[in-house]
Amino acid sequence: MSQTMDIRDAVERELGYDPLVDNSDISVKNINGDVALNGTVPSYPQYQEAAAAARRVAGVKKLQNHLEVALPSGDYRDDTMLTTAANNALTLDVTVPEGVEATAKSGNLTLTGTVRYGTERAAAEQAVMYLTGVRNVKDDVEINTDADSIDVTLAVQDALDRYALISDDSDVAVDTSGNTVTLTGHVRTWAEHDAAIDAAWRAAGVYDVRDEMDVTG
């Protein structure tokens, strides 16, 4: 069996194995480790989990998530109801600072506001993604923290050095322009890739993280 078939089959089996994903309407395509997911899932968390499941498979170097969220009829919420639910969830979550707001349009949530850290922006996404009626989340929350670009670079590199999932001989490099961090180099797995991205976002003063790393598989 070819590697193309091996990877596609492995991704399909991983999707079927994951209890958090209904894979009945998902199709998988693979070209030399570039995997695409097509079809539909019944919720936004399943959209996210399907991508996470595919990334767990050895040999997956790139992932294109083309899945669409097709809500069951009982899960539809009108814009006003979903907007209210989302803003209530943001208010009740102690990890989300004041000033972050949500607006819904046809099940698509847009988050706006200003926070100091990337972890706070991520917390806002987590607060609303599991709400019934959500089809997608667009994060337009801005990060505003005074920090020198040299300090940002050092903070990100230090965070990368601390993370257990990133090997000591990793060639992941950090380049900072203003408050935007670009990560380049090679990682062996998506777990290492996600750990590097997470480490960068946790550093103070980071407004954006650009991913130019290669997953070798």
Number of domains in the chain: 3
Structural domain for 20, as ranges: 3-69
Q: Are residues 195 and 153 in the same domain?
A: yes
Q: What is the mean pLDDT of residues 178-197?
A: 88
Q: Are residues 85 and 137 in the same domain?
A: yes
CATH of the domain at 111: 3.30.1340
Q: pLDDT tens digits, residue range 133-163?
A: 999 999 999 888 776 777 788 888 888 888 7
Q: Are residues 133 and 82 in the same domain?
A: yes
Please give the pLDDT value at position 5.
67
Looking at 119, 143, 167, which one is the last position of a domain? 143
Q: Are residues 84 and 131 in the same domain?
A: yes
Is a pLDDT exceeding 90 seen at residue 170? no
Q: Are residues 137 and 81 in the same domain?
A: yes
CATH of the domain at 60: 3.30.1340.30
Q: Are residues 62 and 80 in the same domain?
A: no
Q: Are residues 163 and 205 in the same domain?
A: yes
Looking at 69, 86, 118, which one is the last position of a domain? 69
**pLDDT level of residue 11 (50, 70, 90 thresholds):** very high
Looking at 143, 159, 194, which one is the last position of a domain? 143
d(CA 83, CA 199): 31
Q: Are residues 79 and 131 in the same domain?
A: yes
pTM above 0.85, yes or no: no
**pLDDT level of residue 1 (50, 70, 90 thresholds):** very low
Q: Are residues 160 and 200 in the same domain?
A: yes
Q: Are residues 110 and 137 in the same domain?
A: yes
Q: Are residues 155 and 211 in the same domain?
A: yes
Q: Are residues 161 and 125 in the same domain?
A: no
